[in-house]
Structure 1
Amino acid sequence: MASNQFSVSSPPTDAISALKFSPEPNSTRFVVSSWDKNVHLYDLRDENGNVGEAKLLQQFEHRAPVLDVCFGANENEIYTAGLDWDVRKIDIPSSTQTVLSSHDAGVRNVVYNKELSLVISASWDSTLHVHRTDANDTTPVIIPLPSKPFSMSLTASKLVVAMASRALHIYDLKALAVLTGQSEGTENNKIGVEPWQRRESSLKFMTRCVACMPDDAGYASSSIEGRVAVEWFDPSAESQARKYAFKCHRQTVDDVDVVYPVNALAFHPGFGTFASGGGDGVVALWDGIAKRRIRQYQKYPSSVAALAFSADGKYLAIAVSPGFEDGKDDVGEGEVKIFIRELGENEAKGKGGK
């Protein structure tokens, strides 16, 4: 049987920080941010519309390593965040970069919500910047956070921010959108905002990644200590009783249980199952409702840094970079790779079916 996986030519030259597919239903474009100070735009299709070897379309250079990237209202605009402390909008057809705002430290995450035209960034200066892209006033609302953010994800209505000290804040996006019209006259547009919910992570160790369910029902989070937690937004006791955590990305080496960080999580847009990627170089698919592993793929050459499903759910992109687990601080030539898996019709389907 022919392999349903291929590697991407012309990958970044340094560690990959994020990978996102275009939100357009039939698009095969994706963007990758990297410590090589660039954002790379690829397409799985060639000029004839055939999927095979992903083609590098454009590169957008930054002043410092780029830590996150996401698409905006369409696949012709992207937003970036990085160690230059800036949140940038890039217009792809013209290659124009516009600085939306500057934080007071590196910017760890940036996300976009189409329903409310919101761009939200989270920085190590312990703030969120909230932008309304459809507003005349481009000054962001600044929301203080209790500690450093590590990961951020959103749904149509909620924003989840995972921070240091195992803190999690869940914000109502409509409430944030309203605030963008009320910030004038406040000190530096800084507003103390009560989150919709405050939670403490059910994982005992530092959060590495958080990813929201596509049906707006909840989220999964992962830690540096080989565990994933699945939780629901509904605050009712009945719903909260459903939350659980499980061990994963562990290997027995010389009779010793070696535990790896779970670096990446991504939900399938159609089935609601999710993929996890670890420092052990392994990618697994999980059914969060049935609490079962669906499958595990062969080991990749090094640590899995990022994962993303295409908008139609047909492809899973896997970014591989040597990490601290490999005992490497620097990345050698050819060690950064991106693999694309073309998924079978039911490959990512849950055990219970959906």
Structure 2
Amino acid sequence: MSASVANPNPNKSFEVVQPPSDSVTSLSFSPKGNYLVATSWDNQVRCWEITTTGATLSSVPKASTNHDQPVLCSTWKDDGTTVFSGGCDKQVKMWPLMAGGQATTVAMHDAPIKEVAWIPQMNVLVTGSWDKTLKYWDLRQSNPVHTQQLPERCYAMSVNHPLMVVGTTDRNFIVFNLQNPQTEFKRITSPLKYQTRCVAAFPDQQGFLVGSIEGRVGVHHLDDSQQSKNFTFKCHREGNEIYSVNALNFHPVHHTFVTSGSDGAFHFWDKDSKQRLKAMSRCSQPIPCSTFNNDGSIFAYSVCYDWSKGAENHNPATAKTYIFLHVPQESEVKAKPRAGTSGRK
């Protein structure tokens, strides 16, 4: 790309200071405050405190910890004290960040750990791995309380209790009702023809979104009587160029959602009216991951090489890693009134 278009920040977002030295694999905000955690291919887990002064956001590095190999996923405990991270060293570490404690290993698999989720209603940690298992962990015990076999490697996972959706390599989705967590509730073949990249459970637990490597999102309802509401749509495409949808995030208040893609763009959508609410300008590198803070007032996204085109297309001279903070406007995240309604949601 020429210098004139190679702008990592065309949307004039706020830049997080001291970003990772390699690509970001996950971003997660504390459920209790504006503390942002990023995991990276550089084996590190970092935390920043995000502060607001008027209309300006700023970041202060707070702490970091490390794994022996690249870190792929992260989540917070619901009380906002503790971070869990998993990765290529086949372990999940529990980091009592707010107490200034050291990270300790609390979960193990036989292959890299791709997804991790804390479920406060059950007081358990769930881990999904490329060893084709899900494991449920009670942190007071060293062994998992249950191991669930999957048909293939875990590629994506989303929990909105009691709904948990796990996407695997073979385009399968295994749906669990966590009130009966040891039994599959339903198995669904992806509505998309290509490899699953991300999944997001609906806020009302009635279904899920799926994003694929082929620039397409599927909206899928679980109830058979709601199947007429299912649809797919194209996004993150430009001409004949098709890009992966890397992240799907529901807004915690308005329940609209955002897609982030390898084209370097993020877009806001309303699934109920089947509308795009706002298209943002393309950054000069892919967006591999993104997240909202707990009240939806900050949208964090990383801009960096996503390794989808392999090592031969990685240029260390230009492949700087960024994390940006966007302040969503109401028009971007609030659903527009539909025809024939009073406008009340």
CA distance in 2: counterparts of 1:117 and 1:49, whole angstroms: 38
Partner of 1:20: 28
Map of 1:214-253 to 2, 5 A cutoff? 214-233=203-222, 235-236=223-224, 238-252=225-239
Q: For residues 206-259 of structure 1, what are the alpha-carbon distances to aligned partners after superposition, in whole Å with 9 as ceiling and x for unaligned?
A: 0000111222222111000010001123x23x212211111111002xxxx110
Unaligned regions of 5+ residues in structure 1, if any? 177-192
1:49–1:280: structure 2 CA closer, same or farther, 3 Å change rule?
closer
Map of 1:20-59 to 2, 5 A cutoff? 20-24=28-32, 27-45=33-51, 52-59=57-64
Amino acid at match of 2:270: D
Whether the 8 Å CA contact 1:11–1:336 is kept in 2: the answer is yes
1:86–1:333: structure 2 CA closer, same or farther, 3 Å change rule?
farther
- In the TM superposition, residue 91 of structure 1 has moved relative to its aligned partner by 0.8
1:239–1:331: structure 2 CA closer, same or farther, 3 Å change rule?
farther
- In the TM superposition, residue 44 of structure 1 has moved relative to its aligned partner by 1.0
Which residue, 133, 149, 156 being the options, matches 2:154? 149
Which residue, 94, 106, 117 being the options, matches 2:112? 106
Whether the 8 Å CA contact 2:268–2:332 is kept in 1: the answer is no
- Identical residues among aligned pairs (%): 30
Q: For residues 42-87 of structure 1, what are the alpha-carbon distances to aligned partners after superposition, in whole Å with 9 as ceiling and x for unaligned?
A: 11117x8995221111111111100000001322201111000001
- In the TM superposition, residue 351 of structure 1 has moved relative to its aligned partner by 2.2
Partner of 1:350: 335
Task: Provide runs of 4+ in structure 1 moved above 3 Å.
Answer: 48-51, 324-327, 329-334
CA distance in 1: counterparts of 2:308 and 2:142, whole angstroms: 41
Amino acid at match of 1:339: F
Partner of 1:139: 143
CA RMSD of aligned residues (A): 1.9
Amino acid at match of 2:261: G
CA distance in 1: counterparts of 2:56 and 2:101, whole angstroms: 25
Which residue, 162, 174, 178 being the options, matches 2:179? 174
CA distance in 2: counterparts of 1:94 and 1:44, whole angstroms: 18
Map of 1:154-165 to 2, 5 A cutoff? 154-165=159-170
Amino acid at match of 2:321: V
Amino acid at match of 1:214: P
1:281–1:111: structure 2 CA closer, same or farther, 3 Å change rule?
same
Question: Matched residue of 1:161: which SS?
Answer: strand
Partner of 1:120: 126
CA distance in 2: counterparts of 1:330 and 1:110, whole angstroms: 30
CA distance in 2: counterparts of 1:69 and 1:38, whole angstroms: 11
